[in-house]
Amino acid sequence: MGAFPNFVVMNALSFTEENYLKSIFFLSRPGTKMVSTNALAERLQTRAATVTDMLRRLSDKDLIEYKPYKGAQLTEAGQQRAVAILRKHRLWETFLVEKLAFGWEEVHEIAEQLEHIQSTALTERLATFLGHPNYDPHGDPIPDAQGVFPKRANLTLDQVKAGQRLVVKGVKDSSTEFLRYIRKAGIGLGDELTVKDIERFDGSLQVMHHGKSLMLSAIAASNIYVKEL
């Protein structure tokens, strides 16, 4: 993704409009030009007719390109707005975990509310206060003030071999249930793990963590991003 040299908040949008832009951003994939109305309706848990009305409104504001029966894609302006919202969301999640001691499974819904604050000055002061972090508490990349994302880890714990020393870089599954599971196990971002054994029968792993032995299922391991030390 290219940088946004004028990464500023323009005319205010409603919470709903911003949520649509963010959803189109998340549903967009490399090689996929259009996000379908049905996909948006499913993600936002609303009717296709409601989605169509909103897409026409966003098209009138030049934030998306909309083609009936085909779907929508973000314009450059829409992309800029979506990334700005995502930047705020992930910075607020970082603040809530690091400074207010919220659990990483608790912060998503709160950040969903805070991401709609319009002040660019507040966002940039927040980033400075946090030391311009590259990743949020879940390991998701935080775009900088120009809209550039840092590269994220793509190696998962189920892909490693016995004997490897690793550091936890993030999670693939950010659902409340999985985050609670990981927190109960005591695993956090930046923690070191050593793989002691991998069960051939079901792929479960025995890992050493803070001097203690933990057993993790193959499913859990497949949702933990790691980096080899």
Percent of the chain with pLDDT over 70: 94
**What is the distance between the alpha carbons of residues 70 and 89, in angstroms, rounded to a whole number?**
29
Question: For residues 88, 91, 93 and 95, what is the CA-based torsion angle, rounded to 10 degrees?
Answer: -130
pTM given for the model? 0.81
pLDDT tens track for 102-151: 988 899 999 999 999 999 999 999 999 999 999 998 889 999 999 999 98
CATH number belonging to domain 15-78: 1.10.10.10
Q: Of 48, 53, 55, which is closest to residue 73 (Cα–Cα)?
A: 55
**What is the distance between the alpha carbons of residues 143 and 90, in angstroms, rounded to a whole number?**
9
Which pLDDT score is estimated for 4? Answer: 47
Q: Which CATH number fits domain 157-228: 2.30.30.90, 2.30.110.10, 1.20.1090.10, 3.40.710.10?
A: 2.30.30.90
DSSP-assigned letters across all residues of 179-216: HHHHHHHT--TT-EEEEEEE-TTT--EEEEETTEEEEE
The domain locations on the chain are 15-78, 157-228
pLDDT tens track for 151-190: 877 899 999 999 999 999 889 888 889 988 988 889 988 8
